[in-house]
Amino acid sequence: MFKKIFFALTAVSVVVSIYLIFFIAPIPIDPMDAAGDPANFKIFYFHVPIAVTAYVAFAIVFVSGIIYLRTKREIWDTRAVAASEIGVIFAALTLITGSIWAKSAWGEFWITWDVRLNTSLVLFLIYLSYLMVRRSIDENEKRARLSAVFGTFGFISVPLSFLSIRLWNRATVHPVVVGPGGGGISGDILIGTVLVNIIAFTLLLVSLIILRMENEKLADKIVSIKRMKNL
């Protein structure tokens, strides 16, 4: 019952967030400052929440990995891989939406020397590698242990990505969206829409993790049943 309510809440929050983006929220830039179509800047409301949600997903991988190494409970490994798979999707969407936004803001899809863009790409590649490492190991316990270590140390790429434009502010044209110096992005409606979207996408993340973990449990049951039939 709780899951049904949670999934329904997630669906409602996503619908509300999309409505706010397309019908309520303003374009977060002076149209005269846009290199491309100012309407493209609406993607900002997707880009920022998706990026934050990717960070949350990888934080779950980090915490789950540490707990697995301490407890050896398989559920934490399952939670880690579920969060990593969904996090990689969100990280990819962050790069895609960011590139579309960059085309309108800077006239280019990708600025090769920009530190935020490159650290975001490295973040995506690290967790993509995490999934590839898992697929390369057949033994369950060894796979879970190495994945937990990889996910724990790989998490350092998350704060580096987030703080990159503060640590190397001369090597980026990306605005500071969160905190002081937000690139001129302000206003109650704009900030409210971003917060609603962050909540909506976080709920979506949790819902997808739950569904992925349930699918993994079903897959394990199928394997167990097949083994019993073969005995």
* pLDDT tens figures, 68-127: 999 999 999 999 999 999 999 999 999 999 888 887 777 788 877 778 888 999 999 999
DSSP 156: T
User: Quick one: pLDDT at residue 222?
Assistant: 80
Residues in the chain: 231
- Reported confidence tier of residue 14, pLDDT bands at 50, 70, 90: very high
Q: Which segment of 36-50, 55-69, 197-211 scores lowest on mean pLDDT?
A: 36-50
Q: How far apart are CA 215 and CA 213, in angstroms?
A: 5
More confident residue, 38 or 200: 200
Q: Is 128 helix (H, G, I), strand (E, B) or coil?
A: helix
Q: Domains of the chain: which residue ranges?
A: 2-21+36-222
User: Quick one: pLDDT at residue 136?
Assistant: 87
Nearest of 164, 227, 192 to residue 25 by alpha carbon: 192
User: Quick one: pLDDT at residue 151?
Assistant: 92
Rounded to 10 degrees, what is the CA torsion of 43, 47, 48, 50?
140
181 pLDDT higher than 50: no
Report CA-CA distances (Å) from 61 to 30, 67, 153, 164, 211. Answer: 39, 10, 11, 21, 16
185 pLDDT higher than 60: no
Please list the alpha-helical segments (H only) found in the chain: 2-19, 44-71, 74-106, 115-135, 140-154, 157-167, 188-230
Q: Which of 18-22, 62-66, 132-136 has the highest mean pLDDT?
A: 62-66
User: Quick one: pLDDT at residue 68?
Assistant: 95
* pLDDT tens figures, 128-180: 999 998 888 878 888 899 999 999 999 999 999 888 877 776 656 666 665 54
Q: How far apart are CA 26 and CA 23, in angstroms?
A: 9
Q: Can you tell me the mean pLDDT for 184-200?
A: 74
Mean pLDDT, the chain, rounded, equals: 83
